[in-house]
Chain A
């Protein structure tokens, strides 16, 4: 575990250095209020990265999360337009997101189709469905009720509700990963599927659960996204799935499964969020963002590669205890 810990320490150090470098020229960037804004702005990425982490831990990948987000966000906006009360909308997006995730999971679990193929397909299907629902029309701010738009922006104890939801999700997923049988099953399935089967864990069902979790978080984020930016259309969060995978990879979630922590995923998301928010402040064209995040992914996987054989982690821990 010491290796794993050092991984998060390194990333934390990089983030602190990054903030220090920005602060040396633009001290306003590290003011608590601005850091709060950066965190709020990064909340959707954090929420999706938490779900993606569970999926990647089980040796799968979910490329449909951004399309899921967009579809659930659009459904939320449409329901608001029909005058559906807020609690019902919130319940619906979570259930619907989980359902879309369950479709991915069922195809992976029941038919054994590789997750990358399944989610490449569902990604286009989910996004296309938004078009079928709306015929490409936008839902703009003036078509949304005030209550609908207010929820994620409501400030409690200095942070908007959106940021608090991210905090709650971080805490919830951290407990799930480290304190529950399902959380340990995610690691076991990715670390060594054969051993997982012998210990009585169903690999397919665990992967299914990971997809449902990722889907539910994407659905919830869909509402938050649409309400915060007060607009819903077919292409919202286009290409966001790559940012989500990037956050996980930078955060040290091993793409081969079985290794990675909630802290890593969150810091990976924050790293990208800080860069995105700092570029305009530092005066670098926002067009640099894509290349920088690409370079960061490559640096992160090169760094990850030095960590050998993530499949043995659970056994090592057992050995230490024994």
Chain B
């Protein structure tokens, strides 16, 4: 993204110790917020602490968080993908078409993942190969991908997925631990290792801080960007499998507005929207915070649209308050 609201973009220098301490305190702050909201919820509603209720609550964020991990890497590298909700819709539609041809569950999953990868590759080629700005490319593909779903489905819906397919979104591994929660945890670990423990992860930060310098230091910038879009597409495909399995049906409006919530999770998690900084543990915590807020408000019978106000305020507030404080100090 080429958005820089101020002239003379300051390259965030995350290598100095005060900055890394600030980063750590961000996650500490999120953890405090998460615990506070948890306690508030437990105090406000007698139904909150029920293990099965808490297990249900995880569905509020697992699918979006899976995408958010890949999106975090993408945003750290200075790009963005607003088409993730549309990729979920298209992947779900493709699975519906495959189901109509009598495909068994493994094939359905393969079709979903392959569609996600194909969409990611399409975005990746346009951004990395042709050098187009990712924000408009993905606004375009957002219309294109979901538009294809509308062409295929119109006002109809695919229902009647095979019984075995329900396992991904409705199954439990043991006791109250859902399949989706396990996929969420595994992808959190994979992406945390990828970003924080591999040289690939270092190149993602390098590109986000200064793509030109990264190129001159021998990083294949375009290839990394392409891979990141591919990963985002893949995670959207996985989310599509989970969501379709959980709902048991596909409508073209499925996963509408996902992109906003995914970006909110990522930004709330402390990833700079300008690129170059952020961590996966922050994103995990942000997913918990958002999930707890929406679930707690739901238990209190607060309508969904009012929750979205809270999410919007949270998104702006977590960025505005620290800036406001540092502004008042100087």
Question: Which of A's residues lie within 8 Å of B, judged by CB?
Answer: 59-61, 107-108, 110-118, 120-125, 127-129, 131-132, 136, 193-194, 196-197, 203-204, 207, 234, 242, 245-246, 249, 255-256, 285, 287-295, 297-298, 301-302, 305
**Nearest A residue (CB) for B316:** A121
A residues near B312, Cβ cutoff 8 Å: 120-125, 128
| Interfacial chain A residues near B137, Cβ < 8 Å | 298, 301
Q: Which of B139, B148, B150, B305 contacts A297 (CB 8 A)?
A: B139
Q: List 12 A-B contacts (CB under 8 A).
A: A60-B3, A113-B320, A116-B1, A120-B263, A124-B311, A125-B309, A128-B308, A204-B6, A285-B151, A287-B155, A295-B144, A305-B131
How far does the Cβ of B149 sit from chain A's closest Cβ, in whole Å?
Answer: 9
Residues of B within 8 A of A117 (CB): 263, 267, 273, 315-316, 319
Q: Complex formed: what's the CA distance from A201 to B320 in Å? A: 25
Docked complex Cα distance between A292 and B145 (Å)? 10
Residues of A within 8 A of B7 (CB): 193-194, 196-197, 203
Q: How many residues of B contact A (CB 8 A)?
A: 54
**In the bound complex, CA of A297 to CA of B145 (Å):** 13
**Which residues does chain B contribute within 8 Å of A114, judged by CB atoms?**
3, 5, 273-274
A185 to B129, CA, bound (A): 33
Q: Chain A residues near B141: list those with CB within 8 A.
A: 294, 298
Interface bits B1-21 vs A (CB < 8 Å: 1, else 0): 111111110000000000000
B323 x A113 contact (CB < 8 A): yes
Q: Do A193 and B154 touch (CB < 8 A)? A: no
Residues of A within 8 A of B306 (CB): 128, 131-132
Residues B126-165 near A (CB distance < 8 A): 126, 130-133, 135-137, 139-148, 150-151, 153-155
- When distances are taken between beta carbons in the complex, the residues of chain B under 8 Å from A118 are 316
Q: Give the contacts of B246-275 with A (CB-CB under 8 A).
A: 252, 260, 263-264, 267, 273-274
**Residue in B closest to A207 when the chains form the complex, CB atoms:** B5
A131 touches B305 (CB 8 A): yes
- Closest chain A CB from B151 CB (angstroms): 6
Tell yes or no: B101 within 8 A of A by CB.
no
Q: Output the nearest chain A residue to B86 by Cβ-Cβ distance.
A: A294
Specify which chain B residues have a CB less than 8 angstroms from the CB of A293 in the assembled complex: 143, 147
- Pair A305/B305 contact, Cβ less than 8 Å: no
A204: chain B residues at CB < 8 Å are 5-6
Report whether A121 and B315 are in contact in the complex, using a CB–CB cutoff of 8 Å. Answer: yes
Q: A146 CB to closest chain B CB, in angstroms?
A: 31
Please, which residue of chain A has its CB at the minimum distance from the CB of B324?
Answer: A111
Inter-chain CA distance A289–B305, complex, in Å, is 27
**B119, chain A: closest CB distance, angstroms:** 12
- Complex CA gap A298/B7 in Å reads 29
User: In the complex, which residue of chain B has the Cβ closest to the Cβ of A293?
Assistant: B143
- Provide the residues of chain B in CB contact with A59, threshold 8 Å: 2-5
Return the CB mask of B78-95 against A: 1 if under 8 Å, else 0.
001000000000000000
Tell me if B327 counts as interface (CB < 8 A to partner A). yes
B303 at the A interface (CB under 8 A): yes
**Complex Cα spacing A171 to B324, Å:** 39
Chain B 1-50 interface residues, beta-carbon cutoff 8 Å to A: 1-8
